[in-house]
Amino acid sequence: MNPVFNDYFTKSIRLTPNGFSLFSLEDGRLKREDYGNEDNVLLTQKAPAFFQLPDVTDTPVDVVVATHVPMLVPEVIFDESKTKEYLAMQFDVSQLGRAYSDQLGLYRSLYFLTQNECDTLDALPFKPVLKAEATILYDFLLHQSNGDAVLLSVNDGFVDYFAMHANAPALVNRSTRTDNVDVLYYSLNCMQQFGLSEPTFFVHYFNAPNRKLNDLLRQYHNKVEVL
């Protein structure tokens, strides 16, 4: 984990389509454990022991939701009472538990937990504090880039794309990752579609077995940073 994310992952759980990860920052060093989907039922057992917390506590623990990329709705037309209707345009909401929204520039960023995820988090003996990963990445880009930027969060099996144009979100998307060339082509299309001018590319690896994407990007882009 890059130090720029330490404030977000001091004590946290990251939920993904592939399972969950536990993070704890101790004496400046990041401790991490990863579990697959087959281990999701173990979250209520693994997390308290990992964080070394008592059986019942009000200690807050961040829960970073990365199970899906959020849906963006322009603020000018957003109606909170229609949140479920908005989500149904993009997601299967048959198992919807709770929906949340964050402010992303001129948009509302909508994300959610399934009922099973809600039940699991409610059973934890500490206080889960929800954070959308897209919001974390947006805040990072606002403070790190002086112009157009693209952040690629590379995971095992998928890549999240976050593009900024004129300090405003231009794209939040996820694609199934096949190889680095596919990611490169998609990134080039993003530049063309959204008119990004010499963007800075940030590459952030999460559980990615192949970490050579940045080398490929540098063959086509002048500004590439690995987080």
Confidence check: pLDDT of 88 > 90: yes
Residues 124 and 167 in one domain: no
Confidence check: pLDDT of 216 > 90: no
Q: Given this model, what pLDDT does residue 123 score?
A: 86
Q: Which of 128, 143, 158 is the last residue of a domain?
A: 143
Q: How many domains does the chain have?
A: 2
Contact 126, 59 (CB under 8 A): yes
User: Residue 84 belongs to what domain range?
Assistant: 1-143
Residues 129 and 162 in one domain: no
Q: Which of 103, 120, 143 is the last residue of a domain?
A: 143
Residues 123 and 189 in one domain: no
* CA dist., res. 78 & res. 217, Å (int): 37
Q: Which of 126, 143, 160 is the last residue of a domain?
A: 143
Q: List residues bridging with 224 in a β-sheet.
A: 201
Is residue 75 very low, low, confident or very high in pLDDT (cuts 50, 70, 90)?
A: very high
Is residue 212 very low, low, confident or very high in pLDDT (cuts 50, 70, 90)?
A: confident
Query: The tokens of 192 are what?
Result: 């063309």
CATH of the domain at 47: 3.30.420
Q: Given this model, what pLDDT does residue 39 score?
A: 62
Read off the pLDDT of residues 163-190 as tens digits, 9 standing for 90 and up. 888 878 888 888 887 688 888 888 888 8
Confidence check: pLDDT of 104 > 90: no
Read off the pLDDT of residues 111-138 as tens digits, 9 standing for 90 and up. 999 998 898 888 888 888 898 888 888 8
* CA dist., res. 156 & res. 8, Å (int): 21
Is residue 2 very low, low, confident or very high in pLDDT (cuts 50, 70, 90)?
A: low
* CA dist., res. 120 & res. 132, Å (int): 17
For range 18-25, the mean pLDDT: 86
User: What is the chain's mean pLDDT, rounded?
Assistant: 83
* CA dist., res. 199 & res. 187, Å (int): 11
Query: The tokens of 218 are what?
Result: 């540098």
Residues 106 and 218 in one domain: no
